[in-house]
Amino acid sequence: GQNIDQPTEMTATEGAIVQINCTYQTSGFNGLFWYQQHAGEAPTFLSYNVLDGLEEKGRFSSFLSRSKGYSYLLLKELQMKDSASYLCAVFDSNYQLIWGAGTKLIIKP
Amino acid sequence: IAGITQAPTSQILAAGRRMTLRCTQDMRHNAMYWYRQDLGLGLRLIHYSNTAGTTGKGEVPDGYSVSRANTDDFPLTLASAVPSQTSVYFCASSDSAGGPVEQFFGPGTRLTVL
């Protein structure tokens, strides 16, 4: 079966750095997405990786290792507004998006 | 520019009733999707449409039907609602199907079936 694993919840301090991991086992791979979802709101796109390595976008970076079935989202200089759930999703061989359950990130002052 | 709109925002429904969730996008995207989101589970695809006039089944299609008469609208119908269909429903769209492109999401409909 297809499976995407993320930690259920993480806590970090304002101004710090946090890394949210995602491991996947899917039938094929055509890219990995990270989305942010604030409570009660819709998911919004953060990043996309299809090749191994690090993609940096401001305070957010996303890393992919296809051989290990592994990705992480790195958030720097955490702000209170970063409190949200972070969803990892993989495009499988049928170009269907398979979603992880999401990681709820709690930022403390 | 609204993006994607969904209606209603929330609804409480008696079991056995019929319900249609509306979704409209103004981005002229070819592909549209319906997901349900339940606590502790990832988003699960119910139905999708790669282009106007075509639809397909996702991971959890039972009890739901869709239609795609035009590019902009993609309604989701529950023919006879059951309590297990209590969930938050998100409509999404993307510029093309069959490729790893970003999906844009509507604000969601919170549905409670009693």
Per-residue model confidence as pLDDT tens digits over B30-50: 999 999 999 888 899 999 999
Residue B40 one-letter amino acid:
G
Tell me if B100 and A91 make a contact (CB, 8 A cut-off). Answer: yes
Measured from the Cβ of residue B3, the count of other Cβ atoms closer than 10 Å reads 15
Residue A72 one-letter amino acid:
Y
In chain A, % of residues over pLDDT 90: 87
Tokens linked to B21: 């969730």
Q: Which neighbouring-strand residues pair with B31?
A: B94
pLDDT band for position B101 (cuts 50, 70, 90): confident
Q: Is B111 on the interface with A (CB under 8 A)?
A: no
Which has more pLDDT, B64 or B2? B64
Tell me what pLDDT residue B30 has: 93
Distance from CA of B70 to the nearest CA of A (A): 22
Strands A9-13 and A103-108: parallel
How far apart (Å, rounded) are the C-alpha atoms in residues A26 and A91? 9
Q: Which residues does chain A have within 8 Å of residue B104's beta carbon, measured at their own beta carbons?
A: 45
How far apart (Å, rounded) are the C-alpha atoms in residues A40 and A27? 31
Q: Which residues does chain A have within 8 Å of residue B107's beta carbon, measured at their own beta carbons?
A: 41-42
pLDDT band for position B1 (cuts 50, 70, 90): low
Q: How many residues does chain B have?
A: 114
Per-residue model confidence as pLDDT tens digits over A49-58: 999 999 999 9
pLDDT band for position B98 (cuts 50, 70, 90): low
In 3D space, the residue among B32, B40, B54 whose CA is nearest the CA of residue B87 turns out to be B40
User: What are the start-end ranges of the E strands in chain B?
Assistant: 4-7, 10-13, 19-25, 31-37, 44-49, 56-57, 64-66, 76-78, 87-94, 104-105, 109-113
Sign of CA dihedral B100, A27, B55, B88: negative
Tell me what pLDDT residue A85 has: 97
Q: Is B14 on the interface with A (CB under 8 A)?
A: no
Tell me if A41 and B107 make a contact (CB, 8 A cut-off). Answer: yes
Q: What is the mean pLDDT of residues B93-109?
A: 87
Per-residue model confidence as pLDDT tens digits over A66-75: 999 999 999 9
Tell me if B40 and A48 make a contact (CB, 8 A cut-off). Answer: no
What residue of B is the nearest CA neighbor of A6?
Answer: B42
Classify residue B15 by its DSSP letter.
T
Distance from CA of B17 to the nearest CA of A (A): 25
Q: Is the pLDDT of residue B100 over 90?
A: no
Tokens linked to A23: 């491991």
Per-residue model confidence as pLDDT tens digits over B8-29: 999 999 999 999 999 999 999 9
Per-residue model confidence as pLDDT tens digits over A18-59: 999 999 999 889 999 999 999 999 999 999 999 999 999 999
Q: Is the pLDDT of residue B2 over 80?
A: no
Q: Which residues does chain A have within 8 Å of residue B99's beta carbon, measured at their own beta carbons?
A: 95
How far apart (Å, rounded) are the C-alpha atoms in residues A77 and A93? 36
Which has more pLDDT, B87 or A92? B87
First to last CA, chain B: 36
